[in-house]
Chain A
Amino acid sequence: MTVKLILRNKEYEVKAEMALLDALKKCGIVPESVIATRAGELMTEDELLVDGEVIKLVAVISGG
């Protein structure tokens, strides 16, 4: 019952059925600094994570 979160070259594993916001907090990721996508579609932080899925986190900060 796990879900994989991928941010750049880092992978995090969290329990399924928790809200995305809670998962981000658990991984120490500031929600404001990422956009989460499920199968390429944008998702909001209240959505529940489904067992076995992979959530891609897109870093939003760019410098220069």
Chain B
Amino acid sequence: MKCKKCGERASINLRQHRMALCKDHFLEWIPEQTERFIKKYNMFTRDEKILVAVSGGKDSLALWDILTRLGYKADGLYLGLGIDGGINYSEESHRLTDEFAQKNGLKLHVVDVEKEYGYSIPILSEMSHRGFGKPCSVCGLTKRHEMNRIARDLGYDVLATGHNLDDEAAVLFGNTLQWAPDYLLRQGPVLPSAEGLARKVKPLCRFYEREMTAYSIARGIEYIYEECPFADGSTQVFYKESLNQLENVRPGTKLTFYLRFLEARQSGELFIERDSKQAHIHPCAKCGQPTSAPELCSFCRMFEKADAIRNG
């Protein structure tokens, strides 16, 4: 297989685009396309301060690398979740993130959830009885809360995450299977800022997970390869595997699924937006972040519950 741009030996075949590229042209193509998506979806400008949520995984480190290569002002945020799983998962991902930041001369903010709130994610999951025995929902809730808090407290204009197309397609697939209109209406490459909420963007949302893996390998980015010990058997992984089966037979299925959804959502053909006032969004009585729950938000209620159990 030959590179479409120079005719040299190809390193990757992008079947959904009917295009193969050599290593050098692939490493040029990824930032070029990222820049295109940033502009297309009005994510941010070069004057804005970006906070990149970095986990030590391939996608978030690749995103930080790409934004830096493109000349954006991007600092990192690492959240220590206290997950061990017999492989020092959190410690190792922190080490790799730190190494990446140092090697590239980048600024990294670190928040250790246990030091900040008194519980690691697995312990908090046990104490709060959320998530049916798995800490994934507690983890997701905590990450969203903390990323928003730090982005706002430190005055960043925008929070960028490394979600790729497979992540987005898996979420879309799950929400479609359940016809969850509220979640479907919220999904997109940009979640605009609102009272108490930082703008959130996903610059990698049109790249396949396979492409981000290839990019990290080709760039020599050291990332945590081990799976989160709690991800095994997760619904998200199951949806990704299922979509890959479809993609294998019909290249482009995942891309079309996601892009047609965005088009349909934007055109308003599929859903009618509910009046946002009906959702009764108001600031949480404790932390001030927006919530639709009465008085306290889900995050603060989770800690109240855990504290109540701990204090007997």
Contact = CB atoms under 8 A, between A and B. Distances in A.
Contacts of A59: 225
Given A35-B213, A35-B214, A35-B217, A64 B11 contact: no
A40 B222 CA distance: 13
B231 interface: yes
A64 B134 CA distance: 11
Contacts of B1: 44, 46-47
B13 interface: yes
A30 B59 CA distance: 21
A35 B57 contact: no
A42 B227 contact: no
B241 A63 contact: no
Interface in A1-54: 30-35, 37, 40-47
B217 A64 contact: no
A26 to B, nearest CB: 15
B2 to A, nearest CB: 10
B301 interface: no
Contacts of A46: 1, 13
A36 to B, nearest CB: 10
A63 B234 contact: yes
A63 B23 CA distance: 27
Contacts, number: 76
B231 A42 contact: no
Interface string B187-217: 0000000000000000000001110111001
Given A35-B214, A42-B23, A63 B11 contact: no
B248 A62 contact: no
Contacts of B212: 60
A32 B15 CA distance: 10
A63 B228 contact: yes
Counting contact residues on chain B (CB < 8 A from A), the size range is: 35 or more
A62 B231 contact: yes
Contacts of A41: 11, 23
A64 B139 contact: yes
A61 B237 contact: yes
Nearest to B226: A8
Nearest to B229: A64
Contact of B248 (A32, A47, A61): A32
B65 interface: no
Contacts of A47: 1
A62 B244 contact: no
A61 B209 contact: yes
Contacts of A31: 248
B38 interface: no
A62 B59 contact: yes
B245 to A, nearest CB: 6
B136 A64 contact: yes
Which among A34, A40, A45, A60 has the greatest number of chain B C-beta atoms within 10 A?
A60
Nearest to A61: B240
Given A41-B23, A44-B20, A64-B230, A30 B213 contact: no
B298 interface: no
Contacts of B12: 35, 42, 44
A62 B209 contact: yes
Contact of B214 (A33, A42, A62): A42
Given A31-B248, A35-B12, A61-B166, 12 more contacts: A30-B244, A32-B248, A33-B210, A35-B213, A40-B217, A58-B213, A59-B225, A62-B209, A63-B228, A63-B236, A64-B136, A64-B234
B29 to A, nearest CB: 13
